[in-house]
Structure 1
Amino acid sequence: MGALPEKEEVTAAPKARALAKKLGIDLAKVSGTGPGAMVTEADVKAASEGKAAVPAPPIPVEAPRPEARPEEKAEARPAGQDKYGEIERIPIRGVRKAIAKNLIASQKTAAFVTGMDDADVTELWALRKREAKVAKEKGVHLTFLPFFMKAAQHALAAYPSVNASVDEKAEEIVVKKYYNIGVAVDTPEGLMVSVVKNVEKKTILDLAMELQELSIKARDRKITLEELKGSTFTISNYGTFGGTYATPIINYPNIAILGTGKISERPWVVDGSIAVRKILPISFTFDHRIIDGADAARFVNRVISYLEDPGRIFIESA
């Protein structure tokens, strides 16, 4: 004789089971209207009254809408607007695209470190003021930048490892024996780095004249590609726009950049006494893969020494 088939287990809510037991209802004979045909308390009550419970209506499910085509999405709101208000879209191309590409390459390659310091340029301030009259007679507007360039060039000569680039493929440091200093120039297209070649062979006035010419060319969009190439070191003189300290990005493939801020009057200790002096904020970003922190500090101190004692920088001799 075969074994009797097992009685199929009925799915029922706990309250439904309790009520069925109380009323003597066989759950196996009750049609469930709950999820997955589960017997509910209402089903048991209906069975005791000889009625069939009415199943709850299914929850309506909204049919998925077809994905809008790209052109339909673009037409969802007027051009020049997002959901918050009016916008303007400016294509990244031309000079701006080239600038972005170079800055990204620099940040992806170099190990950036920035140090900040100050220089007492009170004497330099007075010197430039005097020599500006001489320059004006020659049709030249003499700013502080030629002095910064000459100070940097002398410091680079003392610390040649800063005047270098990296040959990534050959894994070599390429030390340059010439001094081509790039200078960031503000133009309608963005910052351009104009390059003054062979700074070591030029006087302060030579540099001032060349900077003046390059600046005009850059702003008039007449500068040549050759005048934007070949830098061995860069100076960003953001003090012209009121900035103080910054973390300037290295102009790849250079391995360092000097940032000069706005000169302002500050209290300063001179020979044990407080005096009001002209102070220049300095920021120096370098590639720590190539330049050690100690050498970076020595280089900046050398630059400061020239700026604080400008008599060491000759006005009309290279």
Structure 2
Amino acid sequence: MAIYELRFPELGEGLHEGRIEKWIVKPGDVVKEDDPIAEVENDKSMVELPSPIDGKVVAINVEAGTTVVVGDLILTFEVEGAAAESSVRETEQAVAEPVQASTQVAPAADATVHAAAIQATGVTAQQSSSSQEILAAPSVRKFARESGVFLGNVIPTGANGKILRADVERFLAGGDHEKGESAEAALIDPSHATEAAQIASVASDSVTSRQGAALEERVPLTTIRKLIAQAMVRSKHTAPHVTVLDEVDVTELVQLREELKPLAQERGTKITYLPFIVKALVAAIRRYPALNATLDEDRQELVLKKEYHIGIATDTERGLLVPVVRHADQKNMWIIAQEISELAARGRAGKLGPNEMKGSTISITNIGSAGGLFFTPIINYPEVAILGVGRITEKPVIKQGQIVPAHVMALSLSFDHRIIDGVLGQQTMNEIKRLLENPRLLLMEV
């Protein structure tokens, strides 16, 4: 018999970390190759991690709820000798690059004192970066170098103090100023390092009152929330957002939906306003194709998409997910309604696959279901526009000189001002309004 150490594998292209949500096995269990051993939250979806080998579980090396990176030891098996030797070689090859790219990171306080020592000897921080043992993958080091960022000033959030690309991006956005200021103070007086370490230690604990009751609670960010935060920051700092706000009289749409409800029930589906909005959006961006595009920044070219894949932002307990209705221009209202319902259900159950949340060309986000009206939605980068849908309210409007009650929907269209001017954005909004005000026109859109 031999020992086989399972290290966390890369579960998909570019997926370098995950959170062990639940262990399916326990020490003493005998498993076969491909048997599920854990549930892992990764890339906005929950996946089962299969066993790579036949064997007996000897030890679980990380607790459920822990975020791990590729190459971390997570499970130990007892296996037959020949099989173990072969599998160990394969595993070592699979994790060689991330492991070799890492060195042991020094604690924050030690790094600050080291910076002070460097200043005292006249050596610059950039010159000494190779000797400070900073843990980061080669791709992250390259990104930091190209961005002009010294990794010693970046606060790591990865396992074992590893600096992630998201950490560098947060630093560029101004999120790590406190560490930079502490390091600068330490360059003047090394005693600041001890003070900074004490402050950090106190801040890491929950604040308590004199009676000992906790006044705050610290909750680790989930993998999904980290990814959402990273995507939002990237979009907001990359694309200059402009939002146009408007109202649309959807009285006829409300009536048409009521007429279609019995037919939808016969088909075993639910008809909401979203399928109509999807069809209206597709028709509008067909007329104004600049909104169904991406910007190739390296070549300075606008890439106009000839396919219409609509992302539908879906609120779940695990965060905001954006499943995609593909080829929406080729589907009728019933099919779109069914797909939206199925995608939303799988999203809330954590069963969406990564491919079901990729490839959208423009997105829709709905705050109306939560009672919201107008808002400024953030573009689902690298798309260049997103349509925000507010609630429908009944209010008085003027029609043919008469004040009459009407159902009015709030709409918000955000777009990348590098590509889309305000007039074009409003023209697109006008087309969406025209179709929603006359929903039977949508029946002509196949």
Alpha-carbon distance in 1 for matches of 2:203, 2:438: 63
Secondary structure of the equivalent of 2:391?
coil
Q: Secondary structure of the residue that 1:261 maps to in structure 2?
A: strand
- Any residues of structure 2 matched to 1:187-206 within 5 Å, and which? 187-206=316-335
Structure 2 CA distance for partners of 1:68 and 1:113, relative to 1, 3 Å: closer
Other-structure match for 2:206 = 80
Match of 2:194 in 1: 67
| 2:436 aligned residue | 307
Secondary structure at 1:266 match in 2 = strand
Higher deviation after alignment, 117-126 or 82-91:
82-91
Residue 294 of structure 2 is matched in structure 1 by 165
Quick one: distance in 2 between partners of 1:289 and 1:218?
32
Which of 107, 128, 142 is the equivalent residue of 2:271? 142
Question: For residues 121 and 236 of structure 1, what CA distance do their matches in structure 2 show?
Answer: 18
1:30-87 CA distance string (max 9 Å, x none): xxxxxxxxxxxxxxxxxxxxxxxxxxxxxxxxxx99935847963x599432579521
Distance, in Å, in 2 between the alignment partners of 1:172 and 1:73 is: 46
Distance 1:78 1:180, change over 3 A: closer
Shift in Å at residue 95 of structure 1? Answer: 0.9
For residues 82 and 109 of structure 1, the distance between their equivalents in structure 2, rounded to whole angstroms, comes to 40
Q: Write out per-residue CA displacement over residues 236-268 of structure 1, whole angstroms, 9 at most, x where no aligned residue.
A: 111011000000000000100111100010110
5 Å matches for 1:15-94? 67=194, 70=197, 74=201, 79-81=205-207, 85-94=214-223
SS in 1 for 2:269: coil
Summarize the alignment of residues 264-279 of structure 1 with structure 2, pairs less than 5 Å apart. 264-279=393-408
Deviations 1:191-249 (A, max 9, x none): 11111100001111101100111001110101011110001111111101100000000
Paired letter, 1:209: Q
Deviations along 1:103-140, one digit per CA (max 9) or x if unpaired, are 11111111111110000000000001111110111110
Q: For residues 243 and 268 of structure 2, what CA distance do their matches in structure 1 show? A: 37
For residues 193 and 404 of structure 2, the distance between their equivalents in structure 1, rounded to whole angstroms, comes to 75
1:104 aligns with 2:233: yes
Alignment CA distance shift 1:70-1:148 (3 Å)? same
The reply on whether 1:225 has 2:354 as its aligned counterpart is yes
**Candidates 87, 94, 113, aligned match of 2:242:** 113
Of 418, 424, 428 in structure 2, the residue corresponding to residue 295 of structure 1 is 424
The separation in 2 between residues aligned to 1:293 and 1:113, in whole angstroms, is 8
1:149 Cα shift?
0.5
- The separation in 2 between residues aligned to 1:216 and 1:148, in whole angstroms, is 19
Change (3 A) 1:295 1:82: farther
Q: Secondary structure at the match of 1:281?
A: strand
Residue 249 of structure 1: aligned partner? 378
Give, in whole Å, the separation in 1 of the partners of 2:308 and 2:204: 53
C-alpha separation between the residues in 2 aligned to 1:207 and 1:82? 52
Matched, 1:123 2:289: no
Tell me the distance in 2 between the aligned counterparts of 1:279 and 1:97: 36
Q: Which one of 404, 410, 422 corresponds to residue 281 of structure 1?
A: 410
Q: Structure 2 unaligned segments of length 5 or more: list them.
A: 1-190
Q: How far has the Cα of 1:90 moved from its partner?
A: 1.7
Q: Does 1:176 pair with 2:302?
A: no
Shift of 1:89: 1.2
Equivalenced residues, count: 253
Q: How far has the Cα of 1:294 moved from its partner?
A: 1.1
Distance 1:66 1:155 in 2: 58
Amino acid at match of 2:383: N
**TM-score scaled by structure 2?**
0.54
**Greater radius of gyration (CA):** 1
1:182, distance to aligned residue in structure 2 (A) = 0.5
Separation of aligned partners in 2, 1:309 and 1:287: 28
CA RMSD of aligned residues (A): 2.2
Residue ranges of structure 1 left out of the alignment (5+ in a row) = 1-63
Partner Cα separation in structure 2 for residue 77 and residue 152 of structure 1:
48
Equivalent residue number for residue 156 of structure 1: 285
Residues 304 and 77 of structure 1: is their aligned pair in 2 closer, same or farther, counting only changes over 3 Å? closer
Identity %: 39
Distance of 1:182 and 1:77 partners within structure 2: 40
Deviations 1:289-314 (A, max 9, x none): 10111111110000000000001111
